């Protein structure tokens, strides 16, 4: 046999080092550096090198290991029967070849029956029962030695502490997959973001990290679940098939995946694979493929195992939902509501069954939290029809001299100012009346019944007006002619005349309606009425400072910032002037007189959490009736924070700002007109 070249030997050494490092980060640190697909690719490359050059094989090669060594923080547990991993198949031909090898080794031409089941994307666990009671739970570890996680496993409600039914042996070892359902994973990450804590990359990583918490109470707080997929020595218990053993486990109180079934031959396997692939996104848990096991236990024993995997089973992987690629640029898109969103332009990569060249970065906070930069190597995830997203940056592949991405100061579409209000994750273009990206949405809102109430100006007609470049801003509506409208699809002379009449009629409006029609962020009908009644004129509102606006009832810092930013934009001022020149007008308003001094006048109060005695809206109305200003965010100007149950991050902000915090007794005192 020809000795491997120095280049081949060096590549094998490099692969071993890479795979061991990825193992350590995945299993020990719970911080995966690369997606599973990249790990699988490198492992297969090493297997091929060692197969061609057996002299390269060393005892500590990752190909001879199932996982990584157990963490020293847990007691080590030796597995009496090794917890082997499975070989992978990535194409239909590999499944057919697997079946051919089975029949050849068994020297039979008959159709083999397989037990087929989803391959859950979680973490493997061994459970030992004595006299029907759970006595030990252990992780896979390196397949021979794992970690004792019994105290944590006992917190998972779907793991029975005592077996049910009868007929079970004095000692039983079962194996299964601990996983985190999709809904629980999303909810946990939402809570982590709100608390400013680290989020998990995916449910598999979350399950592994949760099972290995040193404090069982922390594990108990995580939404973990389990499916049992095998029992050790089922043949010795008088059972004859894998599928039968799963039914027996169900009778004994174990949770077994309901999707599993018996199939005939490679055709049955591939049909099951297709069905699971089509329904994958509808499952409440993640799967990354399906598993085929020779169903007859006697045949499993006859087939045996190689060093790291059984010959009688194989995992048929789905197209990877995560892949590596590089960020070629970060661009900014403007949505129909003005949201300015960062988008990563990628070196195209095939992931989740499609070629992906763009991925969302959500908002500037998320971009900075993940620290995505141009030139970075990143993990891209695409699940089903979900928009591809950047999951994580592979920091050790970052090129030199990269720069942190900054939020643009000007809208990339209309050059209006980009505004990001404190405590809001989303930045927005402030050119609402002018920005082309927001044009159709702005016109729909402007013409809506509660705004300018232009009867007959619906969505489809607005689309035509914009697409044919007849209307750019709301002011252009008042320049339309009957002839222009009559030429549009599904418009005749009469309907065109009716619309012209409706547009002219809408010009006679009120200041609150007009303010609402402008589509200023956070300005609904009630706020528009407050602005009009207290400021009197559009000019007064447009020239007011943020501080002056905040003095009005129900106008907090966020609303004030949005109003002020809107009227500061020259494009918006120009459109408003054109609207008034086009005939839009309203009667003068008599400014409301200040109410008599009230006991809570001058106080700014924020309410958070769930109140027992009343709803938050009821509390808000009663406090406002006593003269208090009730806002939605905590600042140094906040007088009191009223906290109910589950207050969230506002309590932390209040403590940081040294704002006095009241419970419901303190709220009752305020409602009596007494200031604590």
Q: What are phi and psi of 431, to 5 degrees?
A: -90, 55
Query: Rounded to the nearest 5°, which phi and psi values hold at 235?
Result: -65, -40
Residues 573, 575, 581, 584, CA torsion sign: negative
Give the active site residue among 119, 317, 370, 650.
119
For 604-671, CATH number?
3.40.50.10190
CATH number of 6-64: 1.10.287.610
> What SS3 state is found at 509?
coil
Average pLDDT across each block of 10 residues of the chain; the chain has 676 residues. List them in order.
74 88 68 84 89 82 61 80 89 95 94 96 93 92 89 88 88 95 89 78 82 82 92 91 94 91 96 93 90 96 87 90 92 89 93 85 89 95 76 92 94 92 82 89 92 92 92 95 91 92 95 94 86 91 92 84 92 94 90 62 87 81 77 85 85 88 90 84
Go through the chain and tell me how many residues it has: 676
CB atoms within 10 A of CB 587: 8
Q: Are 25 and 32 in contact (CB under 8 A)?
A: yes
| Fold classified for 418-581 | DNA polymerase; domain 1 (1.10.150)
Name the packing angle between helices 6-23 and 36-52 (round to 10°): 140
Task: Please give the Cα distance from 588 to 541 (Å, whole number).
Answer: 14
Sheet holding 261-264, edge to edge: 88-89, 313-317, 287-294, 113-120, 261-264
Q: What is the structure's pLDDT at 266? A: 96
Judge whether 6-64 and 418-581 match in fold: no
Taking the domain 322-397, which CATH number applies? Answer: 2.40.50.140
Helices (DSSP H) in 113-202: which residue ranges? Answer: 150-153, 182-194
Among the residues of 507-608, which ranges form H helices? 511-517, 525-535, 538-543, 546-550, 557-568, 570-581
pLDDT value for 383: 66
Let me know: does 280 contact 318? Beta carbons within 8 Å: yes
Binning the chain into helix, strand and coil, the percentages to the nearest 5 are 40, 20, 40
Contact 434, 473 (CB under 8 A): yes
| CB distance 507 to 583 below 8 Å | yes
How many Cβ atoms are within 10 Å of 443's Cβ, its own excluded?
26
Active site residue 293: no
Identify the architecture of domain 77-317 in CATH. 2-Layer Sandwich (3.30)
Residues sharing a CB contact under 8 Å with residue 369, sequence separation 6 or more, in sequence order:
none
Other C-beta atoms closer than 10 Å to the C-beta of 53 total: 17
Which H or E run includes 655? helix 649-656
Q: What is the pLDDT of residue 526?
A: 79
In this structure, are residues 411 and 417 in contact, taking their beta carbons and an 8 Å threshold?
Answer: yes
pLDDT of residue 497: 94
For the chain, which residues make up each domain, given as ranges? 6-64, 77-317, 322-397, 418-581, 604-671
Q: How does pLDDT run across 261-316, given as a tens digit for each residue? A: 999 999 999 999 999 998 988 899 989 899 999 999 999 999 998 877 899 999 99
Quick one: pLDDT at residue 2?
Answer: 56
What does the pLDDT read at residue 297? 96
- Contact (CB, 8 A) for 169 and 237: yes
Q: Please tell me the predicted confidence (pLDDT) of residue 314.
A: 96
User: Can you give the pLDDT at residue 602?
Assistant: 80
Q: ∠ at Cα 112 (106, 114), nearest 5°? A: 120
Using CA atoms, how far residue 203 sits from 147, 259, 570, 667, 673, in Å, is 21, 19, 48, 41, 50
CA distance 39 to 652: 41
């Amino acid at each position: 046999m020809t000795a491997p070249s120095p280049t081949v030997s060096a590549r094998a050494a490099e692969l071993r080092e890479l795979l061991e490092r990825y193992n350590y980060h995945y299993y020990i640190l719970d911080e995966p550096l690369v997606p599973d697909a990249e790990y699988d690719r490198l492992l297969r490359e090493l297997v091929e090198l060692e197969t061609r050059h057996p002299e390269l094989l060393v005892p500590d090669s990752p190909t001879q290991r199932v996982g990584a060594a157990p963490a020293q923080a847990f007691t080590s547990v030796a597995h009496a029967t090794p917890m082997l991993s499975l070989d992978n198949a990535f194409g239909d031909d590999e499944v057919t070849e697997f079946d051919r090898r089975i029949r050849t080794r068994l020297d039979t031409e008959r159709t083999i029956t397989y037990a087929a089941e989803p391959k859950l994307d979680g973490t493997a666990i061994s459970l030992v029962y004595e006299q029907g009671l759970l006595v030990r739970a252990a992780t896979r570890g390196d397949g021979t030695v794992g970690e004792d996680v019994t105290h944590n496993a006992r917190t998972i409600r779907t793991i029975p502490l005592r077996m049910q039914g009868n007929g079970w042996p004095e000692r039983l070892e079962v194996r299964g997959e601990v996983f985190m359902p999709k809904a629980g994973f999303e909810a946990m990450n939402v809570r982590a973001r709100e608390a400013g804590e680290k989020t998990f990359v995916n449910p598999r990583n979350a399950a592994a990290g949760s099972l290995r918490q040193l404090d069982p109470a922390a594990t108990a707080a995580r939404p973990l679940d389990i499916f049992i997929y095998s029992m050790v020595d089922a043949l010795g218990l008088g059972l004859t098939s894998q599928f039968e053993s799963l039914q027996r486990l169900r009778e004994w109180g174990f949770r077994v995946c309901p999707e599993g079934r018996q199939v005939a031959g490679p055709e049955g396997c591939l049909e099951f694979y297709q069905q699971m692939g089509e329904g994958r996104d509808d499952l409440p848990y993640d799967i990354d493929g399906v598993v085929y096991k020779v169903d007859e236990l006697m045949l499993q024993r006859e087939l045996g195992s190689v060093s790291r995997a059984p010959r009688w089973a194989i995992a048929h992987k789905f197209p990877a939902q995560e892949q590596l690629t590089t960020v070629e640029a970060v661009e900014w898109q403007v949505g129909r509501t003005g949201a300015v969103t960062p988008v990563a332009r990628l070196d195209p990569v095939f992931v989740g069954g499609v070629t992906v060249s763009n991925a969302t970065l959500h908002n500037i906070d998320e971009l900075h939290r993940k620290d995505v930069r141009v030139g970075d190597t990143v993990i891209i995830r695409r699940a089903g029809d979900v928009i591809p997203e950047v999951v994580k940056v592979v920091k050790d592949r970052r090129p030199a001299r990269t720069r942190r991405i900054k939020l643009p100061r000007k809208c990339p579409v209309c050059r209006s100012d980009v505004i990001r209000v404190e405590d809001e994750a989303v930045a927005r273009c402030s050119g609402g009346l002018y920005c082309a990206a927001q044009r159709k949405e702005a016109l729909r809102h402007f013409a809506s019944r509660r705004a300018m109430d232009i009867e007959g100006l619906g969505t489809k007609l607005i689309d035509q007006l914009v697409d044919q470049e007849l209307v750019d801003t709301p002011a252009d509506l008042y320049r339309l002619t009957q002839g222009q409208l009559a030429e549009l699809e599904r418009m005749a002379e009469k309907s065109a005349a009716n619309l012209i009449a409706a547009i002219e009629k809408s010009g006679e409006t009120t200041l609150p309606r007009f303010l609402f029609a402008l589509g200023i962020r956070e300005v609904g009908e009630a706020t528009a009425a407050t602005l009009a009644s207290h400021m009197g004129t559009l000019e007064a509102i447009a020239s007011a400072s943020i501080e002056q606006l905040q003095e009005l009832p129900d106008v907090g810092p966020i609303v004030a910032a949005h109003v002020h930013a809107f009227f500061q934009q020259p494009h918006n001022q120009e459109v408003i002037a054109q609207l008034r020149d086009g005939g839009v007008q309203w009667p003068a308003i008599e400014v409301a007189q200040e109410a008599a001094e009230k006991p809570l006048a001058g106080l700014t109060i924020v309410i958070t959490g769930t109140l027992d005695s009343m709803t938050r809206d009821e509390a808000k109305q009663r406090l406002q009736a006593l003269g208090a200003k009730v806002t939605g965010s905590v600042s140094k100007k906040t007088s009191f924070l009223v906290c109910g149950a589950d207050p969230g991050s506002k309590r932390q902000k209040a403590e940081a700002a040294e704002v006095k915090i009241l419970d419901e007794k303190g709220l009752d005192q305020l409602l009596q007109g007494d200031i604590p």
